[in-house]
């Protein structure tokens, strides 16, 4: 079986797990000293690879381990609200507020990138209620059966995208809410596909 990480990536990940809760300043020099590579640029390359594979994330200039292979746990960053009907700043502008432990065995691919958002408002009821924790995956393609987290006019929305004749709409499951027609496709960017809903996460 092919290893998910090479030896140096594992060393860096293990080192960051050991020191991430300390108050010490974790510099590139300290990581370099810990893994014994012959040049700091090589260490930086390995760190960037870990970021691309979504094992670590840089938050406020500090590296946070978000996927823990040793314990088979993926720590999913949680962001505040993705609205299901009202205006709210795009979640991409935020830093994670906390992390949600997610069993790695549920990942279809070890390189999947997941985040979680707390839903707000009522337009996707009864499937999604306010304060449900919605886990979403970065994915380019989708179909009409998927619920998606999109950026619409710089707002984060959880909707379905449906087609009626030649028109496309952001569709709400709650029939009290009108669908939003997508007039300009550049106004909508599909960010993530909904993969799991955890009820009433406080």
**pTM over 0.85, yes/no:** no
What pLDDT sits at residue 67?
67
What pLDDT sits at residue 51?
79
What pLDDT sits at residue 43?
86
The residues that bridge with 6 in the sheet, in sequence order, are none
The residues that bridge with 95 in the sheet, in sequence order, are none
Assigned CATH class of 7-65: mainly alpha
What pLDDT sits at residue 1?
28
* Distances 43 to 17, 38, 71 between C-alpha atoms, Å: 16, 9, 24
Residue 125, token pair as written in the block: 């009821």
Mean per-residue pLDDT pooled into runs of 10, the chain (202 residues): 68 84 74 83 87 73 69 71 49 60 73 79 84 82 83 81 87 89 78 78 55
The correct CATH number of 73-198 out of 3.30.465.10, 2.160.20.10, 1.10.150.120, 2.10.109.10 is: 2.10.109.10
């Amino acid at each position: 079986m092919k290893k998910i990480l090479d030896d140096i990536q594992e060393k860096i990940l293990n080192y960051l797990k050991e020191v991430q809760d300390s108050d010490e300043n974790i510099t590139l020099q300290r990581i370099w000293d810990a893994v014994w590579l012959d040049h700091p640029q090589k260490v930086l390359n390995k760190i960037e690879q870990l970021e691309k594979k979504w094992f670590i994330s840089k938050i406020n200039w500090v590296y946070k381990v978000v996927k823990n292979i040793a314990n088979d746990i993926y720590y999913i960053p949680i962001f505040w609200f993705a609205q299901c009907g009202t205006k709210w700043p795009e979640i991409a502008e935020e830093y994670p507020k906390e992390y949600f432990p997610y069993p790695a065995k549920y990942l279809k691919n070890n390189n999947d990138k997941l985040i979680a958002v707390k839903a707000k408002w009522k337009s996707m009821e009864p499937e999604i209620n306010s304060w449900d924790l919605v886990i979403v995956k970065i994915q380019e393609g989708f179909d009409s059966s998927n619920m998606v987290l999109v950026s619409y006019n710089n707002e984060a929305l959880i909707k379905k995208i449906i087609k009626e004749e030649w028109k496309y709409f952001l569709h709400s499951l709650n029939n009290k809410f009108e669908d939003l027609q997508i007039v300009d496709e550049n106004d909508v960017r599909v960010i993530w596909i909904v993969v799991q809903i955890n009820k009433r996460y406080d």
